[in-house]
Structure 1
């Protein structure tokens, strides 16, 4: 099978071709090489995502699927769909026909958003925020109870 010149059909394809290091937006590669390149990019992105799971979220046990399920609890709702898309692409990664269905541009954007969020995630700051919100709730409840007790004492004429 000889090499066939594949011209990008959209801006997303042109961006993907530029990301793969191809010049002028035109790709000269046969279909087998193209799917191998996409698979290589996906496996590298998945390794970076696994590293972020381990470093930022302290998820080191289990496979990628179980880590992703535990990471889903930390992610905002808008990124949970991105994680689902990445998991679906990972499942069909080895099959060249099914891997074309996933959509490289959408998958690349999903991976980018996940990496950006997890890269800026700070567990210590989240922990401090949780502790401060619990303390604020306790203090607010104490002030409300104190005000209620004072109101009852005033109403009964003890103060």
Structure 2
């Protein structure tokens, strides 16, 4: 199915998830996604399971599956990998800077308390 292949490609590009079943990759990749996107992923996975059974395939709502696919695709396309990396590096540097300032402040307080300053 072309929709599943497109989602697999987007998951590989945006999250680096290129192996394993689609359901597990969606669960991993959409861990921090909004609730609506997670619901769409669950529905899409259920539709993939139903596609394997011809009798259940007739019961599927194709418009709903298409809507869930659009939701997932829009969410995955909106992810900016470079911005995520920058955010991660800035978060790490901010945390490190705060810790250094806290240690320096504690050291100054300790030196003042002991009478060395």
Same fold (TM over 0.5): yes
Divergent runs of 4+, >6 A = none
Give 2:25's match in structure 1, choosing from 62, 67, 87: 67
CA distance in 1, matches of 2:97, 2:64: 46
| 1:110 aligned onto 2:75 | no
Aligned equivalent of 1:144: 102
Deviates more, 1:92-101 or 1:51-60: 92-101
Task: Write the distance in 2 (CA, Å) between the matches of 1:57 and 1:153.
Answer: 48
Distance 2:110 2:8 in 1: 58
What do residues 33-69 of structure 1 show as CA deviations (whole Å, max 9, x unaligned)?
Answer: xxxxxxxxxx232222122122222322234334334
Alignment of 1:48-63 (within 5 A): 48-63=6-21
- Measured after TM superposition, the shift of residue 71 of structure 1 is 2.2
Shift of 1:96: 4.5
Deviations 1:119-153 (A, max 9, x none): 12122321221121111111101101111111222
The one of the two structures with greater contact order (alpha-carbon pairs below 8 A, sep at least 6) is: 2
Which consecutive unaligned segments of at least 5 residues does structure 1 have? 1-42
Q: How many residues align?
A: 116
Deviation at 1:97, TM superposition (A): 4.1
1:129 has 2:87 as partner: yes
With normalisation by structure 2, the TM-score equals: 0.78
Q: Which has the larger radius of gyration?
A: 1
Distance 2:84 2:57 in 1: 36
